[in-house]
């Protein structure tokens, strides 16, 4: 399995390129939004994180996840800067990397789909819950799908550039609900942006992260001598009916 490169990078952190063209997510997310969001805002977090770490060589061998997992171990003088800007880098990398150009064929499949049904009831319930949670995040922040240390997936929201508690959760997917992520196109209509975002999720990448995270959680539990993790049910899971109603599918093509 391909390891997430995110875990391996250390100082100086480098701005990652988008894994698709700047315009490739239009009309759901416009090229203009992506340009400002990725090339300006995300880059600024990378620069500020490197600036904060520059005079602390003892931290230069740590990955972003390691820096964010134990913030209490960071020198007090740079703790806030590393948490805010490191979070800004981590969150934006996961966000941009979790999307792909829209196509009608994409659905979660296999083990990930089975796990979604196990933990949320159905794909439709999952979709409603993550949208509702992200929409309900007061002011700026993110909506998340994470794998809990107990082996089940959870949905949550975080404020500002906070990451979920990485001692307990492994992030699988996130969505940026800062206004800069959608205001140029959607103004205050966060729900419309979330509907559009949901159509862009790169499920293949989320599935890779899930399988890798599940193996990591399982290994730790075995080492601790704890019981079995919840497993997915036997047999092939399938999406019984499209989670998009016909009206929603039609509506998609009129997204600004
Ligand atoms: Mn952002």
User: Does position 100 have pLDDT exceeding 60, yes or no?
Assistant: yes
75 C-alpha to ligand 1 centroid (Å)? 26
The token duo for 101 is: 């150009």
233 C-alpha to ligand 1 centroid (Å)? 37
Where exactly are the structural domains of the chain? 30-97, 105-237
The token duo for 114 is: 């089975």
Assigned CATH class of 105-237:
alpha beta
CA distances to 27, 173, 198 from 134, rounded to whole Å, are 21, 12, 11
Sign of the four-CA dihedral 134, 1, 215, 86: negative
49/143 Cα distance (integer angstroms): 23
92 C-alpha to ligand 1 centroid (Å)? 6
**pLDDT recorded at residue 224:** 82
* 170 phi and psi angles, rounded to 5 deg: -110, 115
pLDDT (tens digit per residue) in 242-256 = 445 444 544 444 443
**pLDDT recorded at residue 105:** 64
Q: How far is CA 243 from the centre of its chain?
A: 21
pTM of the model: 0.89
41 C-alpha to ligand 1 centroid (Å)? 7
246 C-alpha to ligand 1 centroid (Å)? 31
**pLDDT recorded at residue 234:** 54
194 C-alpha to ligand 1 centroid (Å)? 14
16 C-alpha to ligand 1 centroid (Å)? 14
18 C-alpha to ligand 1 centroid (Å)? 14
Q: Is cis: bond before 12, omega within 30 of 0?
A: yes
Cross-strand bridge partners of residue 156: 144
69 C-alpha to ligand 1 centroid (Å)? 21
95 C-alpha to ligand 1 centroid (Å)? 8
Report, in angstroms and rounded to the nearest whole number, the Rg of the chain calculated over CA atoms: 18
Sign of the four-CA dihedral 186, 187, 191, 193: positive
Identify each DSSP E strand in the chain by its residue range: 141-148, 153-159, 169-176
pLDDT (tens digit per residue) in 140-171 = 999 999 999 999 999 999 999 999 999 999 99
Q: Count H helices, E strands: the chain?
A: 10, 3
147/98 Cα distance (integer angstroms): 16
36 C-alpha to ligand 1 centroid (Å)? 9
58 C-alpha to ligand 1 centroid (Å)? 29
SS3 236: coil
**pLDDT recorded at residue 104:** 64
123 C-alpha to ligand 1 centroid (Å)? 26
171/177 Cα distance (integer angstroms): 16
212 C-alpha to ligand 1 centroid (Å)? 26
* Band of residue 216 on the pLDDT scale cut at 50, 70, 90: very high
Torsion (CA) 226, 118, 147, 2 in degrees, nearest 10: 100
96 C-alpha to ligand 1 centroid (Å)? 9
Assign a CATH topology to domain 30-97. Answer: Helix Hairpins (1.10.287)
């Amino acid at each position: 399995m391909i390891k997430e490169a995110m875990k391996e990078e250390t100082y100086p952190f480098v701005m990652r390129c988008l894994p698709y063209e700047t315009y490739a997510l239009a009309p759901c997310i416009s090229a203009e939004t992506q340009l400002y969001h990725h090339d300006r805002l995300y880059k600024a977090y990378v620069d500020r994180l490197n600036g904060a770490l520059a005079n602390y060589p003892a931290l230069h061998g740590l990955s972003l996840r390691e820096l964010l997992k134990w913030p209490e171990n960071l020198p007090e003088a740079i703790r806030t800067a590393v948490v805010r800007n490191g979070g800004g880098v981590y969150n934006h990398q996961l966000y941009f990397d979790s999307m792909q150009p829209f196509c009608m064929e994409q659905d979660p499949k296999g083990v990930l789909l089975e796990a979604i049904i196990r933990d949320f009831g159905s794909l439709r319930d999952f979709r409603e819950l993550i949208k509702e949670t992200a929409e309900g995040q007061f002011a700026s922040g993110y909506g998340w799908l994470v794998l809990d240390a107990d082996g089940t997936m959870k949905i949550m929201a975080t404020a500002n550039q906070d990451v979920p508690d990485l001692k307990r959760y492994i992030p699988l997917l996130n969505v940026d609900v800062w206004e800069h992520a959608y205001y140029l196109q959607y103004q205050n209509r966060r729900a419309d942006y979330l509907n559009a975002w949901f159509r862009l999720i790169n499920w293949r990448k989320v599935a890779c992260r899930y399988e890798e995270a599940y193996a990591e959680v399982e290994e730790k539990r075995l080492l601790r001598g704890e019981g079995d993790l919840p497993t997915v049910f036997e047999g092939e899971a399938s999406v019984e009916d499209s989670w998009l109603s016909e009206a929603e599918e039609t509506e998609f093509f009129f997204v600004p």
